[in-house]
Amino acid sequence: MPIQARQKLLNNIVQKIVVGSLVYGLLGLGVAFAEDCKKQAKLLRGDYDVVQADGGLWRFMEKSSRLRDDSMLGLQIDGILQRGVTHIENACKEGKPASPQLIKELEALISEARTLNNKSTSRTPAKKLKEMIQALLKSSQEWAEKNSI
């Protein structure tokens, strides 16, 4: 076999190996992202469930006579957070991992809800609590609208 033919054959084999390795690597990377997404979704669900353990922000507001009139704000926040967690869970199940930014933003909203839920209605002025709840509702609504959730 002439040298040029050998080189051509060798180059062809090397190209196939490189392309095959890249394809295999990218497929493996996709599986890794999907698994990471599922772990993140599970963590988000757990964090959300902690907020909801005693009825969520709606229940938090219903328990306080000073916040009860505005408890629908808490219900709206609970609903947005629920839709966000479900959206990410479904995206992961479908093999379309949510972006790290989307997950990070939802984590921040859930964390804020959790912080609010841990506030003492007897120690924190009602006006301050209402401001915090309204700010969380606004940021939750903006997040949901921006991400079509």
Weakly modelled stretches of the chain, pLDDT under 70: 1-2, 5-12, 14, 16-34
Can you give the residue ranges of every domain in the chain?
A: 38-146
**For residues 106 and 84, is the Cβ–Cβ distance under 8 A?**
yes
pTM: 0.76
- Decide: 37 and 98 in contact? Cβ < 8 Å: yes
Task: Count Cβ atoms within 10 A of the Cβ of residue 51 and give its class: 0-12 exposed, 13-18 middle, 19 or more buried.
Answer: buried
For residue 28, the model assigns a pLDDT of 44
Q: For the segment 21-32, what is each residue's pLDDT rounded down to a tens digit? A: 555 554 444 444
Residue pair 45/121 in contact (Cβ under 8 Å)? The answer is no
How many angstroms separate the Cα of 135 from the Cα of each of 27, 68, 77, 96, 124? 42, 17, 11, 31, 16
